[in-house]
Structure 1
Amino acid sequence: MIVVKDLKELKNVYNENKINVTIGNFDGVHLGHREFLAHIKKDSVQDHAKFVVVTFVPHPLQILKSHTGFLINTYAERRELLAECGVDYLLEIDFTRDFSTLSPEAFLEKFIFSFDGIAKIYLGHDFAFGANKSGDFHVAKTFCDTRKTSLILQQEFKVKSSPVSSTEVRTAIQSGSIEKVSELLGRNYFLSGRVIKGEGRGKKIGFPTANLGYDKELIIPAKGVYITQVKIKDMVYNSVTNIGVNPTFNTGYDIHVESHLLDFTHDIYGEEIRVSFIKKLRDEKKFPSVNDLVAQIKADADLARDYFKHE
């Protein structure tokens, strides 16, 4: 997949006769997104067309609503997930307040129809674009008809009669419903980052942990203990992960993501890791003593070992 940051750059690398295009934020690249993108990829192969995704950086809500701590994936992770879906070109438009004032027609004219060879445009069932989200399927259809370009509308995608959306995924993450998150994403939910220096308490009590330095723009699961797997380079290790504020030690309000890798003794300080969440074991709680905490951590680790033994 070729990633480009502006139209001039895309025109420089683009040399195909025909392209199929879709537009969206694709935060999380959830199961609905993946089904939609698979359909476009299949069409593109049959049409001998290149598959172009047009998206935005930063997410519009970060600019228009000043939202923070809500992204399901970093922009680098979104690139990785979109590449897995067979996207040929990813155009990342710089989303600014000035950009947000473009009319739907101006957006289509400047950012979509500035190319020859647009064969088909695909829109999500709920996608709105242009100033005040005034552009919808009907606006786009009128615009495309005058240019003899096919416009295809995605039907709402559901799992077990429930709609799949980035909003639904975020709600499930915040509630700690990790198995539902996996169902909505069609994969395990993960957090990536570098192992950073912590307080070192885990090592002192016999359960060393990798303290994850995660992007604070990301949404974080509910406080608690989870069965997880940690990927380091090309190796995957079974683990348990605590998300919370370490209430037994009264350390403050910062949320820590700390993973204890089962039967693992190597020093991974400074390494890039990916923590994949599988199942929630329990809520975070304050223990009467450190000995009680140690006993509970041992029980959590045993539950995780038992889980992986039967997988």
Structure 2
Amino acid sequence: MKIIKNLGSLNEDGHQFAVTIGNFDGVHVGHQTILKTILDDCKKDGLELVVVTFEPHPIQILKPRNHFLINSFTEKRELLRNVGIKYLCEIDFSRDVSTLTPGSFLDEYILSCKDVKRIYLGHDFAFGANKSGDHQFVREYCQPKNIDVKLLNEFTLKEKCVSSTKIREALSLGSVEEVSKMLNRNFFISGMVVKGEGRGRKIGFPTANIRFPAERIVPAKGVYITRTQLGDQVWDSLTNIGNNPTFNTGNDIFVETHILDFDGNIYGDEITVEFIKKIRDEKKFESVNHLVDQIKKDEVLTRDFFRGQR
């Protein structure tokens, strides 16, 4: 995949291009379906598709917040590559960019490539100052330049709309099975394993504590059946998300994974945890013994689940 910052750098590429613009956070099933439809449409007309997105996500500049993004930018690149995208334009988003008029934005970042012949726009996508760059504006602006503008239909799954916002809402409820349907894959968190307090090992259930970017969203507090990828291997696992209320009184969110039948030292290693099913909410136990009893029950449920999958 060729990654650029401005379509102007494609003027020497020898192709004619189509463009679609969006944040594509999560690259969910709606994104996947629409992008594949656009790719097929472009292939018929001999056009190369360029996906235009923003780095960082505009919300991180205009209204910064933690636990918002479904994927990191590196993960989004890989997900787009898997869909079949060959050209990705990552515009450096800033407050200056946010105040550009729609015409100025198009001239500077999109129409700087003289070989752009078509623009595909999402049904609700708007850009530029005050979101004034809607479909009608782009069509009128591009008509004298003989650039075709196509409006994309909203994607629905079993008569329900699919969007990054819907996915965030489902994650906030711990509904990871519903999220898997909307993503067309399991939701995952990747990060480095860091040292914790070592309490899990002391009670017989060692955990890998994941350090992940603060802007990444995590599912609701609770215990989940998960799979953990370490290098080329994938292990069955059990993951807790929460504040460890039995031991802690703070509000920090921890992601701690107990990898079944594994006892290696993986401090400093990168792992990826896929969330499959929520078992229960997080709770504060009266004693460590009560906690241990519950974890044993959680482990039995997890083993039974995977046994049923095989």
TM-score higher than 0.5:
yes
Aligned position for 1:154:
152
Q: Is 1:211 the equivalent of 2:230?
A: no
Instruction: Return 28-37 or 43-52, whichever deviates more.
Output: 43-52
Aligned position for 2:5:
5
Contact 2:7 2:111 (8 Å CA) reproduced: no
Aligned position for 2:69:
71
Residue 7 of structure 1 and its aligned partner are, at CA, apart by: 4.7
Q: Is 1:264 the equivalent of 2:254?
A: no
Instruction: State the Cα deviation string for residues 156-185 of structure 1 (Å, max 9, x = none).
Output: 111122111111010011111111111111
Residue 110 of structure 1 and its aligned partner are, at CA, apart by: 1.5
What is the count of residue pairs matched by the alignment?
Answer: 309
Within 5 Å, which residues of 2 pair with 1:97-246? Answer: 97-246=95-244
Q: Distance in 2 between matches of 1:90 and 1:143?
A: 23
Q: Distance in 2 between matches of 1:136 and 1:226?
A: 41
3-state SS, counterpart of residue 145 of structure 2? coil
Q: Is 1:276 the equivalent of 2:274?
A: yes
Instruction: State the Cα deviation string for residues 103-135 of structure 1 (Å, max 9, x = none).
Output: 111111221111122122111111001101011
Contact 2:237 2:257 (8 Å CA) reproduced: yes
Q: Distance in 2 between matches of 1:252 and 1:61?
A: 27
Instruction: Return 270-279 or 140-149, whichever deviates more.
Output: 140-149
Instruction: Return 294-303 or 14-23, whichever deviates more.
Output: 14-23
Contact 2:174 2:220 (8 Å CA) reproduced: yes
Residue 289 of structure 1 and its aligned partner are, at CA, apart by: 1.0
Residue 46 of structure 1 and its aligned partner are, at CA, apart by: 2.5
Runs of 4+ residues over 4 Å off in structure 1:
none
Percentage of matched positions with identical amino acids: 56
Question: What one-letter code is carried by the residue in structure 2 that aligns with 1:97?
Answer: R
3-state SS, counterpart of residue 246 of structure 2? helix
Instruction: State the Cα deviation string for residues 4-24 of structure 1 (Å, max 9, x = none).
Output: 23456x337x51321111100
Contact 1:16 1:50 (8 Å CA) reproduced: no
RMSD: 1.3
Q: Distance in 1 between matches of 2:6 and 2:124?
A: 25
Question: What one-letter code is carried by the residue in structure 2 that aligns with 1:303?
Answer: L
> Of residues 248, 251, 273 in structure 2, which corresponds to 1:250?
248
3-state SS, counterpart of residue 194 of structure 1? strand
3-state SS, counterpart of residue 45 of structure 1? helix
3-state SS, counterpart of residue 56 of structure 1? strand
Residue 45 of structure 1 and its aligned partner are, at CA, apart by: 2.5
Contact 1:181 1:189 (8 Å CA) reproduced: yes
Which structure 2 segments of 5+ residues have no match? Answer: none
Instruction: Return 71-80 or 140-149, whichever deviates more.
Output: 140-149
Question: What one-letter code is carried by the residue in structure 2 that aligns with 1:80?
Answer: E
Q: Distance in 1 between matches of 2:95 and 2:111?
A: 22
Which structure 1 segments of 5+ residues have no match? Answer: none
Aligned position for 1:82:
80
Contact 2:27 2:79 (8 Å CA) reproduced: yes
Q: Distance in 1 between matches of 2:14 and 2:200?
A: 56
